[in-house]
Structure 1
Amino acid sequence: MSKLDNNPRSLAVTALTRVKNGAYSNLQLNQMIDQANMSQRDAGLMTTIVYGVIQHRMTIDYQLEPFIKNQKKVADWVMILLETAVYQMQYLERVPKRAIFDESIQIAKTRGHEGIRRFVTGVLHQMDRVGINDPADIDDPIKRQSLTYSVPEWLISAFNEQLGEKKANSVLESINHPANQSVRVATDQISMADATAALEEEGYKVTPSQVSAAGLVLGGKPANQAKLFHDGQITIQDESAMLPAESMHIKPDMMILDACSAPGGKTVQIAGQLSAEERGQVVALDIHDHKVRLVQQNAKRMHVDDRVVTQAIDARKIQTVFEDQTFDEILVDAPCSGIGLVRRKPEIRYEKQLKDVQALSKIQLAILDAVAQKVKINGIITYSTCTILNQENRDVVSAFLADHPNFESQRVVTDRDLKADRTTDYLEIYPDDYDTDGFFIGQFKRVR
């Protein structure tokens, strides 16, 4: 590898170019960190730049616009190189401007030709001389919020309408913070105390989760390097993503359906509370074969594959396969817009539109309709999403209960009794509540 190949700023440009062409930011970063021979510090800088540019892209492009006459004629990687420079100038206080300019111009020269080097040099120096636009000066309030937080206007409007402006601003402020690194401990295999001690011995900074009883927040190095991870005693999972399974009423001998299971984080969490000796089992469905294989791999790694049965099927067609089978409990962790994951997957905000949200809410209801006949009387359906939009959450719950008088809303209770003073049965977790992903959980009990 050349020196440039190990340069964190150059690698950030490569990663961002691939993300722009459809790669997932988190997967792309993991792959490049594994392949490049970088120090932990350089890997951290690359990660910060990649997430930072994606998080603030609309703001950065607004600030670059006056200095580039025709952005469409500029090659993607050159535009991205300029975005990384502006991001560092605006958001990384400890990085000297001279270092940003020198590195950016050197990357332009090495990766491109003399004309590109001159272009990048000219843009950076002109920005330095003239100064850049401040979104706070924009008169239109929606546009101002949009370009301040780098979030599309339709989403700004939805947040303001559904949350009120104060809560909306708090959520918007929080989604550009770095995501915590959290793991769930497989407490069927190791105690929280022993897991904490083992991780600390390996040099991790370990903090108990304030959200999930089985969660730990780790600092210091990637969680997948831990011995406990390789031994299948911890798994990487956001704290709020642990709550749907945690809130279920699982007994060791139950037959449970996980209707939308891939990649299997919640499947293995459920399976860890079941007993193969008592014939407890979780049936895990997903529409795609390759995703079902991920669930199988996850179950094997976490030593619960003796309690997991997988099948590639669209949950909306469950009646065609499980004609006579019913389940004690059902989890529908529904396909959704993923707006609650914006901190962890920042590109989501640019990829989704209101019409996508409306289409997904119909799919969510169709899945609930299909599985409603498969839960036993007195059994419970747990419905969860990783979004914070009412169309996919509150509205779906209301529509389901209105269409199914044989179900009653149940209060969602977690081990930490989160939001104990709320007036709703369903539980809403916003990104600013606990510094986690946004999540929604509702529960319905079949009464006849």
Structure 2
Amino acid sequence: MNLRGCSAQILGHVLNDGQSLTAALEHGLAKLKDSKDRAFVQALCFGVIRHFYALDFMLSRLLSKPLKQKDGDIKALLLIGLYQLQHMRVKSHAAVSETVAATSHKPWAKSLVNAILRQYLRDAETLQQACTGDSQARHNHPDWIVDLLKHDWPEHYEKILHANDQAPPMALRVNLQQGSRAAYLDELTAQGIAALPVDCCETAIRLDQALAVEQLPAFTQGRVSVQDTAAQLAAELLDAQPGQQVLDLCAAPGGKTAAILERQPALAGLLAVDVDQQRLQRVTDNLQRLNLHAETLAADACQPASWANNRQFDRILLDAPCSGFGVIRRHPDIKLLRRADDIVVLQALQAKILAKAWQLLKPGGILLYATCSVLKQENEAQIAAFLAEHADASEIRIDAHWGTARPHGRQIITGDRQMDGFYYAKLHKAA
């Protein structure tokens, strides 16, 4: 199988059909058995999506006229070719010849792809320089996202944009119920896996290089999980105590659910709720691997009357649906698939879920609001509006050595301490 052709099919589902890169890869990689082939295809797809705006700008300069919509597969191959030549260590003659070979299903495109890629090799410096004169190509983000980030973070937006285009580090969460972080670091060292502890989170380890989970010591036994450090902070902030009832809203894929249970095994119960039954299955799968137990429920967080049965909880984690602007480096297709008017819709949804969740919190209880966003309107502005409308709510200040204190809550900017962009606010309900 031609790996460039396979990559083009996957990219076509994202660029032409609006499918998420995660879903497209899951389907496309299933056809490949060799782990090196899978890794190469994944690197191509992530790379093209991550650098799409610059690559697309250069391609538009190289083509004498735009390709027809029905030839989106050829456009994907051209982007793949350009990405290899600019960003990968593939030898240029191999990158050109293998990409050309992937056009066998459309013989007319062979000469076009060959000519475009060879022209790029001749004019690479000029084309790359031209990118600096185009806003979207220079920032490698759509202008509307740049404008939002620049408005919220005028001193940091360029850092955020740069971090979004980098491959994220691989972070691990050590299950302290099965042994110490120091002991697990020793196990990694014994296997020649370079890693360091993360000082702002007692469970976090950051690997020097990403690897397959099958290579991690005792992964299948639940000794460790893959989770970004920023997301690991949720369990510590929630601070669930023995005998308490905990609700995890919008819980899938379950990393925070598991972290809460690992940190506090003596809970009276934990209910993990998510609206998506398929994604909820991932919560169940994660808990099974870790030998942890929670009640899971596919239900709409906006309609607790239909499922809560008058239950109330001592602790609630609301990992609110959001733009995902703090995890673009992990999900670069957000730059292509998200739309400006989505943000207003998400804001309204966040406010609704937060108000409904508050009704489920016991007096004296704590609700932790979290997003993987860096947009103020989804974060500190959302909390300010909630506090203004709920006299029984007060904010618990988060004092920490990570992130930045905001008028409400605490914000992690993408790339700070190599973490994802994340926001937390801790709310107390009057007794």
Shared fold per TM-score greater than 0.5: yes
Residue aligning to 1:199: 188
Report the Cα distance in structure 2 between the residues aligned to 1:32 and 1:195, rounded to whole angstroms: 34
2:229 is matched with which residue: 213, 233, 239? 239
The reply on whether 1:89 has 2:85 as its aligned counterpart is: yes
- Measure, in 2, the Cα distance between the counterparts of 1:136 and 1:29: 29
Deviations along 1:351-388, whole A, 9 cap, x unmatched? 11221111111111111111112212221110001111
Amino acid at match of 2:290: M
- Aligned pair 1:79/2:75, yes or no? yes
Tell me how far apart the structure 1 counterparts of residues 182 and 107 of structure 2 sit (CA, whole Å).
59
Match of 1:112 in 2: 105
Aligned residue in 2 for 1:287: 275
Structure 1's consecutive aligned runs of 4 or more residues displaced over 6 angstroms after TM superposition are none
TM-score w.r.t. the length of structure 2 is 0.91
Q: TM-score, normalised on structure 1? A: 0.88
1:254 correspondence with 2:240: no
Q: Does 1:301 align with 2:297?
A: no
Seen in structure 2, the aligned counterparts of structure 1 residues 124 and 292 have a Cα distance that, compared at 3 Å, is closer
The offset of 1:438, in angstroms, is 1.0
- Which residue is 2:213 aligned to? 223
Cα distance per residue 1:36-62 (max 9 Å; x no partner):
34464x554433322111011111111
SS of 1:207's equivalent in the other structure is: strand
Residue 332 in 1 paired to residue 325 in 2?
no
Identify which of 362, 381, 399 aligns with 1:376: 362
Q: Deviations over 1:69-127 (max 9, x none)?
A: 122256222111110111122223x433333222222323xx32432111111222333
- Structure 1 counterpart of 2:98, from 90, 93, 103: 103
**3-state SS in 1 of match to 2:206:** strand
Q: CA RMSD in A?
A: 2.4
Distance 1:200 1:365, change over 3 A: same
Give the 5 Å matches for 1:408-419.
Answer: 408-413=394-399, 417-419=401-403
- The corresponding residue for 2:381 is 395
What is the identity, as a one-letter code, of the residue corresponding to 2:419? T
| Distance of 1:129 and 1:423 partners within structure 2 | 50
Distance 1:301 1:275 in 2: 16
1:126 paired with 2:119, answer yes
The one-letter amino acid of 1:120's match is: V
| Aligned-partner Cα distance in 2 for 1:90–1:309 | 49
- For residues 413 and 28 of structure 1, the distance between their equivalents in structure 2, rounded to whole angstroms, comes to 41
Instruction: Label 1:147 to 1:253 Cα distance change in 2 as closer, same or farther (>3 A).
Output: same
Contact in 2 for aligned 1:285/1:315 (Cα 8 Å): yes
Structure 1 residues 205-237: Cα deviation after superposition (integer angstroms, max 9, x where no partner): 222224432111232521244342211221121
SS at match of 2:205: strand
Unaligned runs of 5+ in 2: none
Contact preservation (8 Å) 2:170, 2:210: no
Letter of the aligned partner of 1:331 in structure 2? L
Summarize the alignment of residues 351-362 of structure 1 with structure 2, pairs less than 5 Å apart: 351-362=337-348
Q: 1:33 to 1:180 in 2, by over 3 A?
A: farther
Q: 1:223 to 1:63 in 2, by over 3 A?
A: same
Amino acid at match of 1:336: C
- The answer (yes or no) to whether the contact 1:181–1:223 under 8 Å persists in 2 is no
CA spacing shift, 1:413–1:64, aligned 2, 3 Å? same
The alpha carbon displacement at 1:132 in A equals 2.2
Q: 1:269 to 1:358 in 2, by over 3 A?
A: same
* Aligned position for 1:50: 45
Q: Which amino acid aligns with 2:280?
A: V
Partner AA of 2:185 in structure 1: T
Q: Which amino acid aligns with 1:430?
A: I
The C-alpha deviation readout for 1:310-337, integer Å capped at 9, x for no partner, is 2222122223433532211111001111
**1:175 maps to 2:161:** no
Query: Is 2:50 the partner of 1:60?
Result: no
Secondary structure in 2 matching 1:443: strand
- Contact 1:328 / 1:375 at 8 angstroms: preserved in 2? yes
Aligned residues: 426
Q: Secondary structure at the match of 1:228?
A: coil
Tell me the residue number matched to 2:197: 208
Q: How far did residue 159 of structure 1 move?
A: 0.8
Question: Is the 8 Å Cα contact of residues 54 and 131 (structure 2) preserved in structure 1?
Answer: no
Are 1:429 and 2:408 an aligned pair?
Answer: no
**One-letter identity of the residue aligned with 2:323:** S
Report the Cα offset of residue 287 of structure 1.
1.6
TM superposition shift of 1:431: 1.2
1:411–1:424 CA contact under 8 A, matched in 2:
no
Please tell me whether the aligned partners of residues 340 and 430 of structure 1 are also in contact (alpha carbons under 8 angstroms): yes
Q: Distance in 2 between matches of 1:35 and 1:197?
A: 37
Bigger mean CA offset, 12-21 vs 291-300: 12-21
Offset at residue 193 of structure 1 (A): 2.0
CA distance in 2, matches of 1:325, 1:399: 26
Shift of the 235–328 alpha-carbon distance from structure 1 to 2, 3 Å rule, reads same
Q: Match for 1:112: what amino acid?
A: H
Q: Distance in 2 between matches of 1:208 and 1:32?
A: 35
